[in-house]
Amino acid sequence: MRQNSGRETGRISPQIIFEDSNLLVLDKPSHLVVLPTSHYPDLEKTLAGFVFEHLGISIKNIGKENRFGFVHRLDRDTSGVILVAKTSEFWEFLVKQFEEHKVSKTYQALVWGDFDSQKILFHFDTPMYQSTSSLRIQVEDEWLVIRSFLDRNPSNTQQFTVSQTGGEAITQIKKLQSFQFLTPTKKFEPMSFLEIKPLTGRTHQIRVHLKALGYPVAGDWLYGGRKKFRWVKERGLDHQFLHAQKIEVPTPTGKSMIFEALMPVDLKMLLERCALAPIKILG
């Protein structure tokens, strides 16, 4: 079963992709946190507030107290598909599917650098590197597979980092397109458009793994550097280029449901400006 939001709006408010008696599927815009936090305490300014307004008080404690039925999360500045269980029974079912790695998530990202799986493997897969790092790299068919542990960065608690401790994180990455542009300093700078499948769901997992490989997400102020963030912002994008494009989830009947969210306008415009030709000059 496949459902699509079918809209290409400015992503000012969430869009409902699909809804039945058990499940609500939303297309989350960027600049919107999923659940209230100490930094974003106002429920009305969160995705949970949208869900609360749509479904009422009964959704508040589905799953866990003040969980609002959310089975997983997206970062504040990541757009795309997110699932909300409308009953406790279906929440437990979905959580089990995530725990057993039966849910397939697909992201799209624009990153700095010409992403080359074989070159990455050659760089990281050396005895000296493997003896000092917890990052493990493999190439399986057309996918680069990254395995590591992720933990809080002790020098910056806003960040996570590849570590010898923490939660296991596995990410699959495939390059869809690469191109280069001419910067204002007359230097050619490569970028790559990627398809990414996180096999686990750690906080900031995709962003941390890409940074660890040396290919930070464009527009990511936390992991990509302030200078490059300014370059992206000057071209109309004020957040990271990371979009949860598709999710495939099993159902109790054994069938799978596939939900997709179209790329937001601001991401699409930046990608089109960069990718019109193998070499694109941007002033």
Torsion of the alpha carbons at 111, 116, 119 and 125, rounded to the nearest 10: 70
| The residue type at 30 | S
CB contact at 8 A, 106 and 80: no
Helices (H) and strands (E) in the chain, counts: 7, 13
* Rounded alpha-carbon distances, angstroms, from residue 143 to 30, 109, 121, 136, 139: 27, 15, 11, 14, 6
CB contact at 8 A, 139 and 225: no
Give the Cα separation of 131 and 232 in Å (integer): 37
> Facing residues of 144 across strands?
139, 173
Q: N- to C-terminal Cα distance for the chain?
A: 44
CB contact at 8 A, 225 and 241: no
Q: Give the active site residues.
A: 75
Give the Cα separation of 246 and 67 in Å (integer): 22
